[in-house]
């Protein structure tokens, strides 16, 4: 915050951070829903998608939110009322906790957390609790099955995700996301520093594993068995309506956005441009305008990563439950373990 050259009191900074967090979670969620779920899916299916509300249907989302907000908030008679009501909030809170460690510029960060990426992986698993709570409290066998499936899936795919990140951490030598960004942009590949060293090039296997695991963590097709509509109605979300459904819905796409931001921070160089272009050599010498350009760069990269996720989502059929588990344990985990070994060898030798 020193870049602004004005002293903001601690409570003011905290308030700004909370507001910034709200923007960083909700704005990408809305953009993803409009650009990908409404427009891109329609394009791939040779239709126009929403066109009436606002120019090119850009205000459709406002109409949808309004519709959900004025719907009745129904709780099933046999449900466990308190837990039923708490569950969506737990899911959304985990998303907000997640965004806290994503850096957006040399001085534009919410917290400069030493164990950043480790923290992100830890709090992302909190959403499983919310999903289990929702599935159980609904007093509905489809909900319960959906919740259990979600939990099994998220646990199975958390492992390859953590292991894929370990490769990046070994190469960068730090778990702090800010320093991972700096390491990528000030690095070089075989002495060539025109691109920096985005880990998508040198950690390509890790990136692949991370993207697949991310797809599963977000329960996007082909990994959407928890809400498989042909078997489970709508999984753990079956009994939810009105604004609680809205919270689940926002949570799904907000988490997609935040995970995409984390993926672009880990593998695509985050907010940075290759430092060699401007002759910067450390994070302190980075020009102040990067605090403005950084968020734009992060959001651009986030949209690119989300595009990949949504592309796979719209064009692949659902896997079976046993295929899903087998793929995680027999393909992804051995692959990421091998990746760690190779990375460690290169780190020691090179």
Partner 1 sequence: MVAQNVGFAVIALVMLVGALRVVTSRNVVHAALWLVVVLSGAAAQYVLLAAEFVAVTQVLVYVGAVMVLILFGTMLTRSRIGTEGGLNNPRWWLGIPVAGLLMAAMSIALVGGIGDEKMPAGAEPVPTAVVSDQIFGPYLLPFWALSFVLLAAVVGAIVLARKD
d(CA 195, CA 282): 16
Site string for partner 1, 67-106 (x = CB under 8 A): -----------xxx--x-----------------------
d(CA 237, CA 60): 22
Site membership for partner 1, residue 243 (CB under 8 A): no
Instruction: Among 32, 92, 133, 209, indicate the residue that binds partner 1 (CB under 8 A).
Output: 133
Question: Which letter does DSSP use for residue 74 in this model?
Answer: -
Of residues 129 and 319, the one with the C-beta less far from partner 1: 129
Give whole-number Cα distances, 85 to 26, 69, 139, 224, 241, in Å. Answer: 21, 15, 13, 23, 11
- b/e 222-245 (16+ beta carbons within 10 angstroms → b): bbbbbbbeeebbbbbbbbbeebbb
Instruction: Among 31, 42, 125, 288, indicate the residue that binds partner 1 (CB under 8 A).
Output: 125
Site membership for partner 1, residue 175 (CB under 8 A): yes
Site membership for partner 1, residue 119 (CB under 8 A): yes
Cβ atoms 286, 197 nearer than 8 A: no
Site membership for partner 1, residue 126 (CB under 8 A): yes
Site membership for partner 1, residue 137 (CB under 8 A): yes
Instruction: Among 32, 37, 75, 121, indicate the residue that binds partner 1 (CB under 8 A).
Output: 121
Of residues 26 and 139, the one with the C-beta less far from partner 1: 139
Instruction: Tell me: cis bond preceding 125? Omega within 30 of 0 counts.
Output: no
* Closest to 271 in 3D by CA, of 123, 280, 124: 280
d(CA 264, CA 270): 5
Cβ atoms 240, 337 nearer than 8 A: no
Site membership for partner 1, residue 226 (CB under 8 A): no
Residue 335 Cβ, how far from partner 1 at the closest point, in Å? 20
Site membership for partner 1, residue 337 (CB under 8 A): no
Of residues 129 and 233, the one with the C-beta less far from partner 1: 129
Site membership for partner 1, residue 236 (CB under 8 A): no
d(CA 192, CA 168): 19
Site membership for partner 1, residue 152 (CB under 8 A): yes
| Interacting residue ranges for partner 1, rule: CB under 8 A | 78-80, 83, 113-115, 118-119, 121-123, 125-126, 128-129, 132-133, 135-137, 139, 144, 147-148, 151-152, 155, 158, 174-175
């Amino acid at each position: 915050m020193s870049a602004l050259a004005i002293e903001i009191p601690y409570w003011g900074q905290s308030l700004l951070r909370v507001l910034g967090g709200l923007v960083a979670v909700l704005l990408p969620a809305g953009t993803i829903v409009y650009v990908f779920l409404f427009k891109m899916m329609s394009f791939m299916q040779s239709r126009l998608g929403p066109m009436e509300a606002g120019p090119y249907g850009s205000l459709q989302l406002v109409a949808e939110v309004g519709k959900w907000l004025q719907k009745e908030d129904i709780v099933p008679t046999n449900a466990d009322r308190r837990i039923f009501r708490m569950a969506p909030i737990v899911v959304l809170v985990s998303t907000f906790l997640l965004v806290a460690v994503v850096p957006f510029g040399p001085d534009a960060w919410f917290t400069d957390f030493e164990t950043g990426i480790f923290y992100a992986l830890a709090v992302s698993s909190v959403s499983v609790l919310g999903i289990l709570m929702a599935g159980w409290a609904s007093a509905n066998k489809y909900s319960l099955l959906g919740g259990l499936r979600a939990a099994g899936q998220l646990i199975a795919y958390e492992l390859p995700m953590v292991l894929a990140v370990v490769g990046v951490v070994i190469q960068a030598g730090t778990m702090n996301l800010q320093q991972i960004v700096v390491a990528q942009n000030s690095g070089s590949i075989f002495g060539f520093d025109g691109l920096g060293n985005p880990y998508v090039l040198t950690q390509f296997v890790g990136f692949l594993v991370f993207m697949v695991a991310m797809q599963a963590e977000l329960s996007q097709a082909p990994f959407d068995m928890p809400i498989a509509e042909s078997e489970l109605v709508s999984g753990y979300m079956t009994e939810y309506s009105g604004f609680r459904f809205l919270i689940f819905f926002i949570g799904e796409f907000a988490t997609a956005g935040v995970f995409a931001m984390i993926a672009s921070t880990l593998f695509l160089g985050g907010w940075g441009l290759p430092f060699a272009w401007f002759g910067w050599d450390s994070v302190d010498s980075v020009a102040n305008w990067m605090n403005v350009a950084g968020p734009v760069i992060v959001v651009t990269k986030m949209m690119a990563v989300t595009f990949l996720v949504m592309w796979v989502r719209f064009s692949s059929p659902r896997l079976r439950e046993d295929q899903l588990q087998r793929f995680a344990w027999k393909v992804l985990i051995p692959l990421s373990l091998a990746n760690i070994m190779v990375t460690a060898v290169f780190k020691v030798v090179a």
